[in-house]
Structure 1
Amino acid sequence: MMMTTAFALTCTLVACGGNTNSLSEAALYADNVFDNASIYTVNETQPWAEAMATKEGKIIFVGSSEEASKLIGPKTVVHDLNGKMMMPGIHDVHIHPLESASDATHFTLPEYASIAEYQDIVADALAKNPSAPWLIGYGHNIDGLLAFSQSPRVILDEVSTERPIIIMEQTSHSMWVNSKALVLANLNQASIDPIGGVLGRTQTGHLDGVLYDNAGNLVMDIAMQAIGSEGERNYQGFVDYTQPELLKHGVTSISDARVYWQRGQLDTWQQLASDGALNLRVSLGLWAYPDANDERQIEELKKLYNTNFSPMLKVDQIKVYMDGILVNTTAAMKAPYQESWLGLPEDKGLNYFTQARLEKYLEALEPVGFDFNIHGIGDRGIHEALNAIENVTSGNARHRITHVEVVDPLDYKRFKQLGVIADAQVAGDFTKPAHWSEMEPLLGTERADHLVPIASLADNGATLTLSSDWNVSSLNPFVGIANALSRAPESISLEEAIKAYTLSGAYAMRQERKVGSLEIGKEADFIILDKNLFELTPSQIKRVTVLSTYVKGERQY
Structure 2
Amino acid sequence: MKKTKQLLVMLLLSASSLALAGCLKNQPESTLIDETVAAESLADSVYINGAVYTVNTAQPSAQAIAVQGNKIVFVGTTEHVNQYIGKNTQVVDLQGRTLMPGFHDVHIHPLESASASTQFTLDEQQSDPEYFIADIANASANFANTPWLIGYGHTINTILNTTRSPLDILDEAESNRPVIIMEQTSHSMWVNSKALQLAQLNDDSADPIGGVLGRDQLGHLNGVLYDNAGNLVMQQALAALGNSAQNEYLGLVEYTLPEFAKYGITSISDARSYWQRDQQKVWLRAEQEHKLTVRANLGLWAYPELSDEKQLKQLAALYQNDPTKLVKINQIKLYSDGILTNTTAAMHEPYQIDLLGLYGNKGLNYFSQERIAKYIKALEPIGFDFHMHGIGDRAISEALNAVEMASKGLARHRITHVEVVDPEDYKRFLTLNVTADAQVAGEFTNPEYWSENSELIGDERSDHLVPIKSLSDAGARLTLSSDWSVSHFNPFLGLHNALNRAPEAITLDQAIRAYTINGAYTMRQEQLVGSIEVGKLADFVVLDRDIRTTPISQIKQTKIDITVFDGEVIYQR
TM-score (norm 1): 0.95
Which position in structure 2 is the counterpart of 1:193?
207
Per the alignment, residue 14 of structure 2 pairs with: none
Letter in 1 for 2:111: L
SS of 2:345's partner is: coil
Distance 2:186 2:326 in 1: 28
**Correspondent of 2:153 among 113, 131, 139:** 139
Is 2:74 aligned against 1:61? yes
1:479 lines up with 2:511 in the alignment: no
Task: Kindly state the Cα deviation for residue 23 of structure 1 after the two structures are TM-superposed.
Answer: 8.4
1:443 is the counterpart of 2:462: no
Give the SS at the match of 2:322: strand
| Cα deviation code 1:489-539 (max 9, x no counterpart) | 100000000000000000010000000000011001100000111122233
Tell me if the contact between 1:505 and 1:516 (Cα under 8 Å) persists in the aligned partners. Answer: yes
Shift of 1:236: 0.6
* Cα deviation, residue 25, structure 1: 3.2
Report if aligned partners of 1:483, 1:538 keep a CA contact under 8 Å in 2: no
Moved more, 61-70 or 191-200: 61-70
Q: Aligned residue for 2:260?
A: 246
**Separation (CA, whole Å) in 2 of partners of 1:440 and 1:270:** 45
Query: CA offset at residue 24 of structure 1?
Result: 6.2
Q: Please point out which of 106, 109, 132 is paired with 1:96.
A: 109
Task: Confirm or deny that 1:353 pairs with 2:367.
Answer: yes
Seq. identity, %: 58
Paired letter, 1:440: S
> Aligned equivalents of 2:35 and 2:216: distance in 1?
83
Q: Is the 8 A contact 2:44 2:89 kept in 1?
A: yes
Amino acid across the alignment from 1:242:
T
Partners of 1:371 and 1:392 in 2: CA distance: 13
Please report how far the alpha carbon of residue 237 of structure 1 lies from its aligned counterpart in structure 2 after TM superposition.
0.6
Distance 1:23 1:372 in 2: 52
Shift of 1:334: 0.3
SS in 2 for 1:533: coil
Partners of 2:90 and 2:217 lie apart in 1 by: 71
Measure the CA separation in 2 of the matches of 1:149 and 1:207.
15
CA distance in 1, matches of 2:129, 2:190: 13
- Is the CA contact (8 Å cut-off) linking 2:336 and 2:388 kept in structure 1? yes
Structure 2 residue 566 is matched with structure 1 residue 549: no
Unaligned segments of structure 1, at least 5 residues: 1-20
Preserved CA contact (<8 Å) 2:500 2:553: no
Instruction: State the one-letter code of the partner of 1:96.
Output: H
Aligned residues of 2:136 and 2:174 also touching (Cα < 8 A): no
Which residue among 515, 518, 521 is the counterpart of 2:532? 518
Partner of 2:434: 420
Q: Which residue of 1 aligns with 2:7?
A: none
2:55 matches 1:42: yes
C-alpha root-mean-square deviation of aligned residues, in Å? 1.2
* CA shift digits 1:403-434 (9 cap, x unpaired): 00000000000000000000000000110000
Instruction: Report the 3-state secondary structure (helix = DSSP H, G, I; strand = E; otherwise coil) of the residue aligned with 1:153.
Output: helix
Amino acid at match of 2:363: G
Deviations 1:113-132 (A, max 9, x none): 43442000000011111111
Distance in 1, Cα, partners of 2:168 & 2:200 = 18
**Distance in 1 between residues matched to 2:73 and 2:248, nearest whole Å:** 38
Cα distance, 1:74 vs. partner? Answer: 2.5
| Residue of structure 1 in register with 2:17 after alignment | none
Aligned residue type for 1:209? G
Q: Give the Cα separation in 2 of the matches to 1:490 and 1:63.
A: 35
- The one of 211, 225, 239 equivalent to 1:211 is 225
Return 265-274 or 411-420, whichever deviates more. Answer: 265-274
AA aligned opposite 2:256: T
Cα distance in 2 for residues equivalent to 1:393 and 1:332: 22
Counterpart residue identity of residue 142, structure 2:
K
Give secondary structure in 1 for the equivalent of 2:381.
Answer: coil
Amino acid corresponding to residue 134 of structure 1 in structure 2: W
Matches within 5 A, 1:218-297: 218-297=232-311
* 1:375 aligned partner: 389
User: Does the Cα contact within 8 Å between 1:273 and 1:310 map onto a contact in 2?
Assistant: no
Could you tell me which residue of structure 2 aligns to residue 108 of structure 1? Answer: 121
Moved over 4 A (4+): 21-24
The residue that corresponds to 2:27 in the other structure is none
SS in 2 for 1:317: strand
Identify which range, 309-318 or 178-187, moves more after superposition. Answer: 309-318
- 1:547–1:506 distance in 2 versus 1, CA, 3 Å: same
Aligned-pair CA distance for 1:72: 1.2
Query: Cα deviations across residues 457-477 of structure 1 (Å, max 9, x unaligned)?
Result: 000000000000001011100
Which string of whole-angstrom CA distances, capped at 9 and with x for unpartnered residues, describes residues 143-199 of structure 1? 011100111111011122210000000000000000000000000011000000000
1:492 equivalent among 497, 506, 513? 506
Q: Distance in 1 between matches of 2:55 and 2:557?
A: 22
* Equivalent of 2:313 in 278, 299, 302: 299
- Give 1:33 shift: 1.1
Q: Distance in 1 between matches of 2:130 and 2:83?
A: 70
Distance 1:117 1:348 in 2: 33
Q: Tell me if the contact between 2:35 and 2:86 (Cα under 8 Å) persists in the aligned partners.
A: no
Residue aligning to 1:5:
none
| Preserved contact between residue 529 and residue 547 of structure 1 (Cα < 8 Å) | yes
**Matched residue of 2:528: which SS?**
coil
Report the Cα distance in structure 2 between the residues aligned to 1:445 and 1:130, rounded to whole angstroms: 48
The amino acid across from 1:124 in the alignment is N
Match of 2:424 among 410, 419, 424: 410
- 2:333 counterpart SS class: strand
2:440 partner SS: coil
Deviates further, 67-76 or 228-237: 67-76
Shift of residue 264, structure 1, vs aligned partner: 2.1
Residues 4-61 of structure 1: CA distance to partner in whole angstroms, max 9, x if unpaired? xxxxxxxxxxxxxxxxx99863202222111111101000111110110111211111
The answer (yes or no) to whether the contact 2:380–2:410 under 8 Å persists in 1 is: no
For 1:500, the aligned partner's letter is A
Question: What's the counterpart of residue 165 of structure 1?
Answer: 179
- Does the residue aligned with 1:65 lie in a helix, a strand or coil? coil
1:31 counterpart residue number:
44
From the superposition, tell whether residues 420 and 309 of structure 1 become closer, same or farther in structure 2 (CA, over 3 Å): closer
Q: Deviations over 1:186-229 (max 9, x none)?
A: 00011000000000001111100000000000000000000011
Letter in 2 for 1:122: I
Amino acid at match of 1:278: L
Corresponding residue of 2:355: 341
Letter in 2 for 1:150: R
Shift of 1:452: 0.2
1:37–1:84 contact (8 Å) kept in structure 2: yes
